Amino acid sequence: MNTLKTAMLLGLLSALLILGGRAIMGPNGLILGLVLAAVMNFGSYFFSEKLALMSYSAQPVTKQENSEVYYRVAPIVNRICQKMGLPMPRLWLIPQDSPNAFATGRNPNHASVAFTEGILRLMNDQELEGVVAHELGHVLHRDILISSIAAMLAGAITMLASMARWGMIFGGYSRDENDRGGGSALADLFMILLAPIAAMLIQMAISRSREYEADAASAKYTGTPYELISGLRKLDTWSQRIPMDASPATAHMFIVKPFTGRSLMNLFSTHPSTEDRIARLEAMR
C-alpha cells in the first residue's frame, strides 16, 4: 500500500511541476519544467550520495580507518545484508554527538550507511541492529533515490514559482492570452503562491510513507520489532537533548528528524511521529 501511495505521490509531484510550469509561465514554462525535472533527477541520481556525505564531513569506516567502529558495525551490517540479499555498503562515521544515522546512494551497488558517533555510544548491539535493518530497508526499496527525486522535483517547482513571482514584481511577467492558454492572472497568482506549498506537502508525505516501510523491513529481517522500538525511544529522547547541525535539505534521510523542535503540523514533517512508528511496530508482534 505504501509503495502504491509513493508512486501516486511522485506522479502528482511531476504533474504539478509540468502543469504548474505551463500555468505559471505558459508553453515555455512547460518546457522549462520538463527540463528542470530531467536535469535535477539526473543530478539527484548521480551526486546525492557524495553531497550528503561531504556535507556532514563523514569519514570512511574500514579495517584501516576507524577500525574499532568497523569491527563493531561491519558484522551487524553484513548479517542484515545477507538476509536482504544486498551487497555490503560502504560505512561512514559522522563526527557529531547527536545520535542518528542515514543511508544514501543511487542503488544497492552504490550504497552507503553513515552513523554519528553519538548513536554508536548510545545504543547496544541489538538496538543498533534494528537501526541498521531500517537503513538497509531504505536501500532495498531504493528509497534514497525516490526521496532525492521528490526533493529535486519540489525544488524545481519552488524555483519556477520564484522566477514568476520576481517577474511579476519587476514587470517582466506578461504573456498574451494565447500563450497563457486561457488562464487568468488570478489563476497564475494562485499557482505561484500555492504550488510550492503543495509540492512541499507531497514531498513530506512521500518521506513519511518510506519511513514506515523501512520500519517494517527492520522488524521483518531482524525477526522482531523490539530492537527498533528500543532504538527509536532512545533516539527520540537524545536527539532532542543533543541537537544536530543538519541541513533541512537532508533531514529526510535520517532515521529520526535531526531537530530538537517538534513540528506544529504532521503534514509539514519529514518523519512520522515516533509514537506512531512505535505503535505500528508493536502491532507487528
Per-position DSSP letters for 58-120, written without gaps between them: -EE-SSSSSHHHHHHHHHHHHHHHHHHT-PPPEEEEE--SS--EEEEESSGGGEEEEEEHHHH
Whole-number pLDDT of residue 262: 47
Instruction: Return the ∠ at Cα 76 (arms to 72 and 77), rounded to 5°.
Output: 110
Active site (catalytic) residues: 135
Per-position DSSP letters for 232-243, written without gaps between them: HHHHHHHHHHS-
Whole-number pLDDT of residue 11: 77
d(CA 64, CA 159): 44
Whole-number pLDDT of residue 166: 63
Calculated CA dihedral for residues 174, 175, 177, 180, nearest 10 degrees: -110
**Owner of C-alpha cell 503534514:** 267
What are the mean pLDDT values of the chain's consecutive 10-residue runs (285 residues total)?
Answer: 66 74 66 70 71 90 96 98 97 96 90 96 97 96 77 72 66 50 56 74 82 96 97 93 81 79 57 93 90
Output phi, psi for 66, to 5 deg: 55, 50
d(CA 150, CA 110): 19
Strand 59-60 and strand 101-105: pairing? unpaired
Question: How is residue 65 written as a grid cell?
Answer: 580507518
Whole-number pLDDT of residue 206: 81
Whole-number pLDDT of residue 187: 57
